[in-house]
Structure 1
Amino acid sequence: MSRTSSLRAVVVGTGHRAQTFTRDLAARPGHRVVALCDPNPTRMAFHNRLLTEAGQPPATPWEPERFTDLLAEEGVDEVVVTTVDAEHDRYIVPALRAGCRVVTEKPMTVDADRCARILDTVRTTGNSLTVAFNYRFNPVHEKVRALLAEGAVGEILSVHFEWLLDTRHGADYFRRWHREKRNSGGLMVHKASHHFDLVNWWLADRPQEVFGYGRLAFYGPEAGARHGLRRDYDRAHGAAAAADDPFALDLAADDTLRALYLDAERDDGYRRDRNVFGGPVTIEDDMAVLVRYARGATMTYHLTAYSPWEGYRVMVNGSAGRLELEVEESRWQPPRALLQAPRGGHRGWGTAHPAPAVEATGRHPGDGGARGARRGRHPDARRALRSPHLTEHRDRTRRRARPRRRTRRQPLLRDGAARQRAGPRAWPLGLRTEVEPLLFGALSGASPGRARRPAGTPVRRGPGPSPWRGGRGHRCGCR
């Protein structure tokens, strides 16, 4: 334990994601990173440079095999685990037994046996373990929980949750260690655990029965060949066939990726830029789940890792209304569009993160609910976006979908009917015409003709760009 007034921390696993913890701990008063633990000395040296840039002394590098010695000799109070998912329990359990507070990246681990081992250790030691389910702290997600908790839609009967990863973020899982299920547990564990945690939290309930199905539909050698996207190379660096592959990652083009991975290959041979259409790939990219909760609600869930845009849609049906949340985290861009993203972006892959707007409508006639709050459109809403690298394979995407203007006489929610739209829309890969996020909540008591919004948020009147655009970017558990 601490020998000084400052809390002494160790960061275990010094990949890209760990930068957030190293920087933030260095900047936090009363904390000091005293040790780094990783099998790769080059990556530990990179993190020590982050510490010195923040005005902190460098941490002592340790090999994973000596982790228990590290805990004793360094007098560690806090352990941050950001390793490969399958290795989490290797560090969580001894840290808890040593009396340390532990924060681990999600998922906690990758299978039931490891989960049981960790939870048994928490119970027997009584020490603190926090899993970084940071999506709970998104103000929009907090708003959803508040609406449901106050009975805005009555008794919750069913939930539909759809999550879309675009072909930059989604493809990245298939370039790195996540592509092998023995390392990550697959995206149903590594990524969807965020979403299941949100729904469990929103509903304040626990799943009783779960059925799931997944397949490798887009990435991997067989699907890549079937879709005409496969190129003949194993990793992008130094491969002539990768030069014009829009799915190839150029590690040398990004200073951070080059320092953390390309320069570090001499130590452990890990290659961060594998061909997403090469083998082996043992995880799925298209997954569906059906859940029944303890109090009777059901949920249908779907995760797509090859969408032309990134975001999610949540629909909650209740006895007194329906809540809908639609968030667009990034608009369509070519998979290889390497941009200078702010810290917290997906490894230098630029994204736009507009903040969701809130709309509230009543469901039942005569309930005083807002009807037909007018939705402004972003100037890009009428522009169909196409993927140039897929045009020759998908000529049908050249059509242009014209959004139909919604008027105040068209209610967003009607008794017994779903929210009105401009008819069914097909969004094939490379085509995106809607660019504005929207949150609909059924709230009784809202004044007719106007949507209720949280206190302090601006009221939008009439068409035009959303005043909520340009919100803070999200941070997922990628690394």
Structure 2
Amino acid sequence: MKKVVLVGAGGRAFYMFAKPLATELKGIVDFCGVYDHNPVRAKLLGDECGVAVYSGFAEMLEACKPEIVVVATPDNTHHTFIIEALEAGCDVISEKPMTIDAEKCRAILEAEKRTGRNVTVTFNLRFMPYFARIKQLLADNAIGSIRHVALEYFLDRSHGADYFRRWHAEMDKSGGLLVHKSTHHFDIINWWVDSHPEHVHAYGTRTFYGPTRTERGERCSTCEYTKTCEFYVDFSQQDFANRHYLQAEKEDGYIRDRCVFHDRIDICDTMSVNVKYENDALLTYSLVTYSPEEGWTATINGTDGRMEVSCMYSGPLAEKEAYSIRIIKPSGETITEDVPIVEGGHGGGDEKLRAMLFEGGIEDPLGQQAGSTAGAMSLLIGAAANRSIAENKSFSIAELSALPS
């Protein structure tokens, strides 16, 4: 069994990695340590998963001598732990995004090349049956060569708003949602198109969240507008959030229920991105974070047809049984296929991803497991888009990244 350690003890680390490593993967891997800078959160995870807790990352590496390090910390710290783990002779599994900007991306790729170890990035949407079926149809030439993709993603006022309560709302911690959230979407498009991005231009605004109303406070738990604010949440009534965040904040000062109209928010809430790929395919992408419903819709136009795909996750049109794929051929023939919705995290994607990561011996004909190049290509679209928004000009991925050959 391979020895695995985890750095990070937040919600994603707990549910995606720690709990499954201690249960469904017990006997397949040796989950032997966890470290988080917040000792309260680390101890809670350690106690609940029966794993040793360490007070330092280097101490954990030395004591456990792991073969695999899982990194699930805030995005702006990924590069530090990834590089230290690589240099200690470990392979790394990194939560998406791999990191938040081109400079940190270069440092990771250079360390990977220098040490000869490997970085895998957890793009779980590739493993969701619906996304995988779309990939298979495109690979089978269902619409010919892909020339244009238009993808519109909209977050509702529950999921979308929650990003603006957390550290994700600060650009220097998350790279903004065009890195933290959209890296999922950019990776899926890169995977479907089967090409690398070449040029990026973007626009972004913040007009909904942030200091846009006078009736606001520091945080929900001390706010005087709890009776009138539609975004009020009481995390003291949510067991995990209360124990792992509210009761742990005295250790590091991290406020989990910050006001979504706080003046520290500096990321965009409305974004539009255009991408040109090396194979001349084009992408038109948008992300809105305050929709009354949540989901996405995409059209993929090829030389031999058009594919229409979408998922509705919340709202009156939310699908409960299947997601549809519709193909329109130049002859007028229309082909429709329904893909059943699967239970589990990210539509069953999390479970399939963990099996690929830790069980071994699973064939991967669609190339669902993503390495550092895929991780770089997705985050660099977001990083280039951030630069484009700030400087109002297009950016070349090559000039921005200067990736090692």
Which bracket does the TM-score occupy, shorter chain normalised? 0.7 to 0.9
| CA RMSD after TM alignment | 2.2
Once the two structures are TM-superposed, the CA of residue 362 in structure 1 deviates from its matched residue by 3.8
Matched residue SS, 1:39: coil
Matched residue SS, 1:252: helix
- Kindly provide the CA deviation profile for residues 274-319 of structure 1, in whole angstroms up to 9, marking residues without a partner as x: 1101211111111110111111111100011111111111101112
Once the two structures are TM-superposed, the CA of residue 469 in structure 1 deviates from its matched residue by 6.2
Gaps of 5+ in 1: 1-5, 53-57, 334-351, 371-442, 444-450, 458-467
- Kindly provide the CA deviation profile for residues 342-393 of structure 1, in whole angstroms up to 9, marking residues without a partner as x: xxxxxxxxxx76354335454333x6x24xxxxxxxxxxxxxxxxxxxxxxx
Contact 2:309–2:325 (8 Å) recurs in 1: no
In structure 2, how many angstroms separate the alpha carbons of the residues matched to 1:332 and 1:276?
Answer: 25
Matched residue SS, 2:222: coil
Show the counterpart of 1:358. 324
Matched residue SS, 1:263: helix
Matched residue SS, 2:298: strand
- Kindly provide the CA deviation profile for residues 73-99 of structure 1, in whole angstroms up to 9, marking residues without a partner as x: 222222111111000011000101111
In the alignment, is residue 261 of structure 1 matched against residue 245 of structure 2?
A: yes
Residue type matched to 2:49 in 1?
A: L
Contact 1:353–1:471 (8 Å) recurs in 2: no
Show the counterpart of 2:40. 42
- Kindly provide the CA deviation profile for residues 431-469 of structure 1, in whole angstroms up to 9, marking residues without a partner as x: xxxxxxxxxxxx5xxxxxxx4x37xx7xxxxxxxxxx56
In structure 2, how many angstroms separate the alpha carbons of the residues matched to 1:332 and 1:103?
Answer: 37
Contact 2:308–2:325 (8 Å) recurs in 1: no
Aligned to 2:14, which of 19, 29, 35? 19
In structure 1, how many angstroms separate the alpha carbons of the residues matched to 2:30 and 2:73?
Answer: 20
Residue type matched to 1:96 in 2?
A: L
Contact 2:10–2:41 (8 Å) recurs in 1: yes
Considering fraction of residues, name the structure with more helix: 2
Show the counterpart of 1:231. 215
Contact 2:165–2:260 (8 Å) recurs in 1: yes
Residue type matched to 1:219 in 2?
A: Y
In structure 2, how many angstroms separate the alpha carbons of the residues matched to 1:329 and 1:84?
Answer: 26
What is the percent sequence identity of the aligned residues? 38
Matched residue SS, 2:66: coil
Show the counterpart of 1:204. 194
Contact 1:218–1:306 (8 Å) recurs in 2: yes
Aligned to 1:327, which of 289, 308, 311? 311
- Kindly provide the CA deviation profile for residues 116-165 of structure 1, in whole angstroms up to 9, marking residues without a partner as x: 00001111222121111111111111111111112111221111011111
The correspondence of residues 252-291 of structure 1 with structure 2, limited to 5 A, is 252-291=236-275
Cα distance, 1:133–1:301 mapped onto 2, change above 3 Å: same
In the alignment, is residue 474 of structure 1 matched against residue 349 of structure 2?
A: no
Residue type matched to 1:199 in 2?
A: I
Contact 2:165–2:259 (8 Å) recurs in 1: yes
In the alignment, is residue 85 of structure 1 matched against residue 75 of structure 2?
A: yes
In structure 2, how many angstroms separate the alpha carbons of the residues matched to 1:147 and 1:247?
Answer: 41
Contact 1:316–1:324 (8 Å) recurs in 2: yes
Contact 1:355–1:472 (8 Å) recurs in 2: no
Contact 2:61–2:88 (8 Å) recurs in 1: yes
In structure 1, how many angstroms separate the alpha carbons of the residues matched to 2:322 and 2:38?
Answer: 40
In structure 1, how many angstroms separate the alpha carbons of the residues matched to 2:207 and 2:316?
Answer: 20
Matched residue SS, 2:172: helix
In the alignment, is residue 61 of structure 1 matched against residue 35 of structure 2?
A: no
In structure 1, how many angstroms separate the alpha carbons of the residues matched to 2:219 and 2:128?
Answer: 36
The correspondence of residues 126-205 of structure 1 with structure 2, limited to 5 A, is 126-205=116-195
Once the two structures are TM-superposed, the CA of residue 42 in structure 1 deviates from its matched residue by 0.9
Aligned to 2:95, which of 76, 96, 105? 105
The correspondence of residues 303-322 of structure 1 with structure 2, limited to 5 A, is 303-322=287-306
In structure 1, how many angstroms separate the alpha carbons of the residues matched to 2:323 and 2:80?
Answer: 42
Residue type matched to 2:320 in 1?
A: P
Matched residue SS, 1:14: coil
In the alignment, is residue 240 of structure 1 matched against residue 224 of structure 2?
A: yes
Contact 2:42–2:53 (8 Å) recurs in 1: no
Contact 1:213–1:289 (8 Å) recurs in 2: yes
TM-score by length of 1: 0.68
In structure 2, how many angstroms separate the alpha carbons of the residues matched to 1:296 and 1:324?
Answer: 21
In structure 2, how many angstroms separate the alpha carbons of the residues matched to 1:353 and 1:123?
Answer: 44
Show the counterpart of 2:392. none
Aligned to 1:9, which of 4, 8, 25? 4
Matched residue SS, 2:245: helix
Considering fraction of residues, name the structure with more strand: 2
In structure 1, how many angstroms separate the alpha carbons of the residues matched to 2:10 and 2:264?
Answer: 22
Cα distance, 1:469–1:198 mapped onto 2, change above 3 Å: closer
Matched residue SS, 2:287: strand
Contact 1:233–1:242 (8 Å) recurs in 2: no
TM-score by length of 2: 0.80
Contact 2:235–2:246 (8 Å) recurs in 1: yes
Contact 1:8–1:75 (8 Å) recurs in 2: yes
Matched residue SS, 2:220: coil
Once the two structures are TM-superposed, the CA of residue 72 in structure 1 deviates from its matched residue by 1.6
- Kindly provide the CA deviation profile for residues 252-292 of structure 1, in whole angstroms up to 9, marking residues without a partner as x: 01000000111001111111001101211111111110111
In structure 2, how many angstroms separate the alpha carbons of the residues matched to 1:361 and 1:31?
Answer: 42
Q: Write out the 4+ residue segments of structure 1 that deviate beyond 6 Å after TM superposition.
A: none
Contact 1:175–1:276 (8 Å) recurs in 2: yes
Residue type matched to 1:33 in 2?
A: F
Once the two structures are TM-superposed, the CA of residue 239 in structure 1 deviates from its matched residue by 2.6
From the CA coordinates, give the structure whose radius of gyration is larger: 1
Show the counterpart of 2:377. none
In the alignment, is residue 302 of structure 1 matched against residue 286 of structure 2?
A: yes
Residue type matched to 2:8 in 1?
A: G
Contact 1:220–1:281 (8 Å) recurs in 2: yes
